[in-house]
Chains A and B, each alone.
Chain A
Amino acid sequence: NAGVTQTPKFQVLKTGQSMTLQCAQDMNHEYMSWYRQDPGMGLRLIHYSVGAGITDQGEVPNGYNVSRSTTEDFPLRLLSAAPSQTSVYFCASKRQGSRTEAFFGQGTRLTVV
């Protein structure tokens, strides 16, 4: 029963580097999303997907790309990391349907120097 698994747990990048944050869920959930958490700001939605092959932008999508080729995986790509992207990133998944709520992964703490 892994739930939502995020890798890596910690990452340090240099400005301009690219990387992919991985997210996988084993619950066959249709809906997956990425949030970033910054001090005093709660969680803000970056991108989300309602199913394989379908993605859409959230509140703060700039600088991030996503794809959803399978139901299980929803990677988040930083194309050219910037210090403003230093944050804790959370992936979440949920089953379709009303009155079903999201399960969150443990987070990836990213520092861009």
Chain B
Amino acid sequence: GQQLNQSPQSMFIQEGEDVSMNCTSSSIFNTWLWYKQDPGEGPVLLIALYKAGELTSNGRLTAQFGITRKDSFLNISASIPSDVGIYFCAGRVGETSGSRLTFGEGTQLTVNP
């Protein structure tokens, strides 16, 4: 099946720094999603990307759908302590609502005040 390689696995940064993480796949995806998971909670959708080359922002977060359809990245600018959590990328091949999501392994982000 499809696999997503997410990197880095973990990041330790100072408050105010910018963060970048990415996902790559050997398969083509038609949708890329980025989720954040706080401790003890379920994943929450941050950004959804539906078109190759698409660049979308949500506040301090910016994500891009790679031109090859095999990668995506997420940037967080001017990090703050509440950015701490696990960030997951997810990809979907099909266009129908029944098609499955494949998740990356996650990036654990720690922000030091």
On A, residues with C-beta under 8 Å from B are 4, 30-31, 35, 40-45, 48, 50, 58-59, 90, 92, 94-102, 104-107
Contacts and interface: CB of A to CB of B under 8 A. Distances in A.
Contacts of A107: 40-42
A102 B44 CA distance: 9
A105 B40 CA distance: 11
A96 to B, nearest CB: 5
A44 B106 CA distance: 12
Interface in B46-94: 48, 50, 88, 90
A31 B42 contact: no
A98 B94 CA distance: 10
A42 B103 contact: yes
Q: How large is the interface on B (under 10, 10 to 19, 20 to 34, 35 or more residues)?
A: 20 to 34
A106 B48 contact: no
A48 B92 CA distance: 15
Describe B's contact surface by its main secondary structure: loop
A45 B100 contact: yes
Interface of B: 1, 4, 6, 9, 33, 40-45, 48, 50, 88, 90, 95-98, 100-101, 103-106
16 contacts: A4-B42, A30-B97, A31-B98, A42-B4, A43-B90, A43-B103, A44-B103, A50-B98, A97-B97, A98-B50, A98-B95, A99-B48, A101-B33, A104-B42, A104-B44, A105-B42
A42 B88 contact: yes
A102 B106 CA distance: 17
